[in-house]
Structure 1
Amino acid sequence: MKKIALVLKGYPRLSETFIAQEIRALELRGFEITLVSLRHPTDTSTHPIHQQIEADVLYLPEYLHDEPLRVLKAFWKLGTQFSLVKVFKQFFRDLKRDTSRGRVRRFGQSLVLAAEMPEGVEQMYAHFLHTPASVTRYAALVNDLPWSCSAHAKDIWTTEQWDLSEKLAELEWLSTCTAANHSYLQSLAKDPSKVHLVYHGLDFTRFQHVDRISRADVNGSSADNPVKIISVGRAVPKKGYDDLLNALAKLPKDLHWQLTHIGGGGILKALRQQAKALGIEQHIEWQGAQPQLTVLEAYRESDLFVLASKIVADGDRDGMPNVLMEAQSQSVCCLATDISGIPELIDSGENGVLVESNNVAQLTAALDDLLRSGEKRERLGAEGQKQLHRRFDVKIGIDQLEKLFDDRG
């Protein structure tokens, strides 16, 4: 049984079910995991899978001034270790290039982690290549432990290349969930063989398919029976909800639809104001963040899933949105944009529909077409569910991770 310290930015989080899924799957393969969280939870509920995870959680000081005695105790405990000199040198090299308070906080958190490392940990493993990987890297230097990482989206595309390259040089291996990520990270690595494409996939024991009642006759012609659209995602710029609202507002007034949005996020209030200004607020239900069973039931009641992801100014973007896979698992037709790893999941016209990102006209046209054709929605949804089971079973990715931990960790 391999003992791993798994470092996360926050735990538990409703928006990161794919990580919880992976943690539980590794536990079932015999790995003994201690979760290390850089932040305390902010969500008011959890998913069922969080209740199944057996790992203990070590919460580091979220801000160093909140627990100064704990930080000082860590310095005192580590003070005689020669490796502390090495990690201080690395920290000051990094600080010259990144003078943010976040850099200092990450270093302080890493010293607390190194001092409080659970006995017997053989390897450290971070989810996300920015903040969690920085804390992991410093703590691994102090305790002379191998470390590895899983990289996804924002952590790759908003991190400076020097930071990525140096981490790639030091870690044992890295997994990432899209071909675009894989190619980019390999280009920055001295040893490209360290970088592995691992789709996180979906656990079909939790997303069991149920037979849907056909709604092929629902074509948007009746106000009493509108087409039910769903979108699940955080209200943040990269999800493209502003584009989706603009596209919906351009639909003919005699085409009847109802949108349900599930997810929290910092721009939720602004989106609601936008919907009101566009005159479509009566067609939208904003449910906020919800537990997984509620989300699953919402998929099953919906006719069309839409996600208008885009690349924003700082480079942030989606990777392989799990919500698309979740919707496909319930045979819901998916309409999305053609960025990052989404085309690896959806072959437009075969198992869903893709449009250009930032192209409201294309999005409106695709919505118009799919809202009017229930038969097309059901055909694409059924094919999406079939290919998902063929290519994106979580077991495939966990097999890859288990081999990486055993062979290179």
Structure 2
Amino acid sequence: MKKDRKIVVVLKGYPRLSETFIAQELLGLEKAGFELELVSLRRPTDLKRHPVHDEIRAPVRYLPEYLHEEPIRVIRALWACRNKPGFKKAFSAFVADFRRDFTRNRIRRLGQAAVLAAEWPKDGSWLHAHFIHTPASVAYYASLITGNPWTCSAHAKDIWISPDWELSGKLASTRWVVTCTHVGYSHLQRLSGANRNVHLSYHGLDFSRFHQFEGQRALRDGSRPDDPVVILSVGRAVKKKGFDILLRSLALIPRDLNWRFEHVGGGDQLDGLKALAQKLGIADRITWKGALDQQDVLTHYRTADIFALACRIASDGDRDGLPNVLVEASSQRLVCVSTTVSGVPELLSDRENGFLVPPENPQALAAALEAAIRNPALRHELGEAAERRVRTEFDYNTSIRQLENLFETEWKAA
């Protein structure tokens, strides 16, 4: 390894099918010469895994997901940490946080941090959390206990469901934070005050996995019942993805147009979405594919005609940042229809390289889908424009170089 320090990466769950951007980053850091150790707060629940997960060499270790499941381990960790110079400071920080967030989850974070501090980070290790909510809390407390510095990658939900007081405290403690959309960057920059330790870094794609699509896109226009336009969406069936809005918009498409909808992904709301499709009378036009690995998803991008994602802001503030599936689909010249939520307009511009409509508006989404269905030449033109933008502005090697420079700058200063 060309780097002289180990990075202990704190993750909420690993591996996860829905977080290929994290796996891609981990592999990129390893290729750049960093030694990683992965520490996950949860064990995997997905039945499949992406090929990129098998390429990552770093060992994976798991903290107690619930403290009562491994009480002896937690007690031993707390006992081992009690005399560490930073334990009193960490406990004081926990007490201050607990007064504002009086939950079991807050207690769990301290227990997990104690296990992390007792078992893995050694002198010279660096703590890096993916997501600025729960994983960052664990990294923050562990950093105080051990004295090891910590940094963070913030993404989407973790930014928008965290209270400002908690974000401000973490931004004051961490060496730096990177985030993947300008809207998230602006929010965190405001909360960082004079620290100015927030950096914008789009995830990008590994183009060695997403080669240019050399095939010809079909000229389907919805006029043939035996050759319907294929509308694809990829994502977990959760509120912020807006799949209920998408289904309602599909039901509004004029009856003279022939289309088929394919959904890739798992999620707790799948059964409810299937019931809604039945109620709307469109169930016979929909195929629910379930969770697929990256290679299978790539095949679907190349055989579909339109990609649709009805991003929304959920009632608890949860939202996407810039969904990687939009970047992936665009890399394959597949025209995207989406909404103006969060970082989506940082990739797509309406009628320039895709279709954008307001969120929570099935009528507007249906009109955009109809326009894309009826005009294959337009969707091909917009898909080509989207691909050009992705391949010039969303190369993941750029984000890896940014992270490499941030880590090396801090280590040289240490």
TM over 0.5: yes
Q: Which residue of 2 aligns with 1:309?
A: 311
Q: Which residue of 2 aligns with 1:204?
A: 207
Distance 1:77 1:120 in 2: 16
Q: Which residue of 2 aligns with 1:34?
A: 37
- The structure 2 residue matched to 1:14, chosen from 8, 14, 17, is 17
Q: Which residue of 1 aligns with 2:361?
A: 359
Say whether 1:341 aligns with 2:337: no
Distance 1:331 1:64 in 2: 47
Q: Which residue of 2 aligns with 1:235?
A: 237
Q: Which amino acid aligns with 1:353?
A: F
Say whether 1:102 aligns with 2:105: yes
Deviation digits for residues 49-90 of structure 1 (CA, Å, limit 9, x no counterpart): 000000011100011111111111112222222321111111
Q: Which amino acid aligns with 1:309?
A: C
Retained in 1: the 8 A contact 2:126–2:148?
Answer: yes
Distance 1:311 1:382 in 2: 29
- The structure 2 residue matched to 1:44, chosen from 47, 50, 68, is 47
Say whether 1:402 aligns with 2:404: yes
Q: Which amino acid aligns with 2:198?
A: V
TM-score (norm: length of structure 2): 0.97
Distance 1:387 1:160 in 2: 34
Distance 1:15 1:121 in 2: 32
- What SS class does the counterpart of residue 16 from structure 1 fall into? helix
Q: Which residue of 2 aligns with 1:382?
A: 384
Measure how far apart 1:119 and its partner are: 3.5
The equivalences for 1:271-350 within 5 A come to 271-350=273-352
Q: CA RMSD in A?
A: 1.0
TM-score (norm: length of structure 1): 0.98
Retained in 2: the 8 A contact 1:169–1:191?
Answer: no
Retained in 2: the 8 A contact 1:234–1:263?
Answer: yes
Distance 2:217 2:275 in 1: 35
Unaligned segments of structure 2, at least 5 residues? none
Deviation digits for residues 326-347 of structure 1 (CA, Å, limit 9, x no counterpart): 1011111111101111111012
Deviation digits for residues 126-176 of structure 1 (CA, Å, limit 9, x no counterpart): 010000000000000000011100111110111111100000000000001
Q: Which residue of 2 aligns with 1:189?
A: 192
Q: Which residue of 2 aligns with 1:125?
A: 128
The equivalences for 1:133-172 within 5 A come to 133-172=136-175
- The structure 1 residue matched to 2:375, chosen from 354, 373, 376, is 373
Distance 1:115 1:51 in 2: 28
Distance 2:279 2:94 in 1: 49
1:179–1:144 Cα change, 3 Å: same
Distance 2:13 2:319 in 1: 20
Distance 1:3 1:160 in 2: 31
- The structure 1 residue matched to 2:225, chosen from 218, 223, 226, is 223
Distance 1:93 1:280 in 2: 52
Distance 1:140 1:376 in 2: 53
The alignment of Structure 1 onto Structure 2 pairs a total of residues equal to: 408
Task: Give the stretch that moved more between structures: 345-354 or 218-227.
Answer: 345-354
Retained in 1: the 8 A contact 2:11–2:135?
Answer: yes
- What SS class does the counterpart of residue 141 from structure 1 fall into? helix
The equivalences for 1:69-108 within 5 A come to 69-108=72-111
Retained in 2: the 8 A contact 1:4–1:121?
Answer: no
Distance 1:154 1:254 in 2: 39
- The structure 2 residue matched to 1:213, chosen from 189, 210, 216, is 216
1:57–1:120 Cα change, 3 Å: farther
Distance 1:346 1:339 in 2: 11
Distance 2:194 2:47 in 1: 42
Task: Give the stretch that moved more between structures: 116-125 or 296-305.
Answer: 116-125
Q: Which amino acid aligns with 2:404?
A: E
Distance 2:262 2:55 in 1: 29
Q: Which residue of 2 aligns with 1:63?
A: 66
Deviation digits for residues 225-268 of structure 1 (CA, Å, limit 9, x no counterpart): 00011000110011011110000001111211011101111111
Deviation digits for residues 101-131 of structure 1 (CA, Å, limit 9, x no counterpart): 1001111000000001144552110010000
* Percent of paired sites with the same residue: 51
Retained in 1: the 8 A contact 2:201–2:402?
Answer: yes
Measure how far apart 1:312 and its partner are: 1.2
Retained in 2: the 8 A contact 1:207–1:296?
Answer: yes
Retained in 2: the 8 A contact 1:175–1:196?
Answer: yes
Distance 2:87 2:122 in 1: 19
- What SS class does the counterpart of residue 127 from structure 2 fall into? strand
- What SS class does the counterpart of residue 124 from structure 1 fall into? strand
Q: Which amino acid aligns with 1:4?
A: I
Retained in 2: the 8 A contact 1:173–1:408?
Answer: no
- What SS class does the counterpart of residue 4 from structure 1 fall into? strand
- The structure 2 residue matched to 1:53, chosen from 56, 66, 80, is 56
Task: Give the stretch that moved more between structures: 341-350 or 164-173.
Answer: 341-350
Q: Which amino acid aligns with 1:247?
A: S
Unaligned segments of structure 1, at least 5 residues? none
Task: Give the stretch that moved more between structures: 116-125 or 61-70.
Answer: 116-125
- What SS class does the counterpart of residue 274 from structure 1 fall into? helix
Distance 1:113 1:192 in 2: 27
- What SS class does the counterpart of residue 244 from structure 2 fall into? helix
